Structure 1
């Protein structure tokens, strides 16, 4: 088994701002309608969402299935999806008072990705559970990774607002597990308050081999720990840098201003 730990400081996000923006996104989604299979904004009078079509079911109801990608009558990059990819999104649940669950299937010549996400109490986001499966269609079991991740948002906010010097939570608010034929990996992420209002994020990655292949994996980890540790820390540092660049370069937009801008856009 190998264990890697790293800590970074990042720009914090206000809980009220986050929850209001989440509600704004859901409001925007629920303001869309279907016209001739196309998803349109502004209650049906606005412009179409590029590349989005309803294939089956009722819009934003369980069983609704959508295709996301460029259409023949659009520019190839209008939807932001490469022309050789097929993206299908399926709604499993849509109840803002309890849960929203969607699945996304992405297929290309050398990769198939299935993501299933379920958000509890969307109007005041609770736990977000994600299941994933990545595989090369022609690569066999050695080119497949699957796993699960969970973010307990109330626990995250509580840990981020804890008093300085307090003990970390018994369970990390963000956990992820991945499984491969050669081994398993577990990732935990825990925030805590730092100087000048920042968040100090502790990240831990644990990797171990599986069953009969465990000795082989253990040997590879033994000789590869130093480059793996460097790669792990570099990856965490880069993720923190991108977060700080996105959120720290200027003040976060006011949710009321965002809502007014969205209403203007939806009105055409």
Structure 2
């Protein structure tokens, strides 16, 4: 088993701001109308690149498919299905992407969920990559899941007692390796967040006895690369997030609508 640990300092995200943004995004989706499969923003402008293919807008089972802006014909490579849409309980979407690269198909199934939009408590993302048409295709796929306990995160970043378990946890499972990641924040003296990321890597199948050797040879370099990547991500966060949290929910909603129109 190989281990990794690194700590970065991040600009904080206020809880009330995040909750207002989640509500604003739900408002934008619910205020969007449909007309003959087309999606219309609240001001009546058509939303390019996406059509309602099946079901009723935002009802469980509704499926949206991406379309090229040029000819308006649906593509077969990406669709979004509403699994649940209840602001007081749960919002859950399934995103399926299929790519056919020279006869070697790959499919990515993602599920994004939130409990609940009115007062977010938990969020999760799961993904499965499956491949076909290649030798040893099973070794090219895998599954991953990330769970965020928002109540635990706010508890950990406040002045109260630390939560009993890491508020952010993730796993990546491959035929040859399994990676477990935990993220724990704590308040810094200047009001920012000190966030510690820990990872454990375990070999599976015939890779199990090879992992200690690989860790001995490349472990130090891999840990250095991982720390540098986290430092770069933290630097980008600290540049962009303070400007983002300075926007109120109405401004964020307008920016999201503008971004959708620019697709």
Q: How far did 1:69 drift?
A: 3.7
Q: 2:119 matched to which residue of 1?
A: 124
Q: How far did 1:84 drift?
A: 8.8
Look up the SS of the partner of 1:124 in the other structure: coil
Q: 2:77 matched to which residue of 1?
A: 86
Look up the SS of the partner of 1:66 in the other structure: strand
Q: 1:77 matched to which residue of 2?
A: none
Question: Against the structure 1 CA distance between its residues 135 and 235, is the aligned structure 2 distance closer, same or farther, given a 3 Å change threshold?
Answer: farther
Moved more, 186-195 or 238-247: 238-247
Q: How far did 1:258 drift?
A: 4.5
Look up the SS of the partner of 1:177 in the other structure: strand
Q: Which runs of 5+ in 1 are unaligned?
A: 75-82
CA distance in 1, matches of 2:108, 2:171: 16
Q: How far did 1:250 drift?
A: 7.2
Question: Against the structure 1 CA distance between its residues 99 and 213, is the aligned structure 2 distance closer, same or farther, given a 3 Å change threshold?
Answer: same
Normalised TM-score (structure 2)? 0.87
Q: 2:93 matched to which residue of 1?
A: 102
1:48-197 mapped onto 2 (5 Å cutoff)? 48-73=46-71, 86-110=77-101, 111-139=106-134, 140-162=137-159, 168-197=162-191
Look up the SS of the partner of 1:109 in the other structure: strand
Q: How far did 1:147 drift?
A: 2.0
1:251-266 mapped onto 2 (5 Å cutoff)? 252-258=246-252, 261=254
Matched, 1:16 2:16: yes
State the aligned residue count: 251
Q: 1:237 matched to which residue of 2?
A: 231
Q: Which runs of 5+ in 2 are unaligned?
A: 259-263
Root-mean-square deviation (Å): 2.4
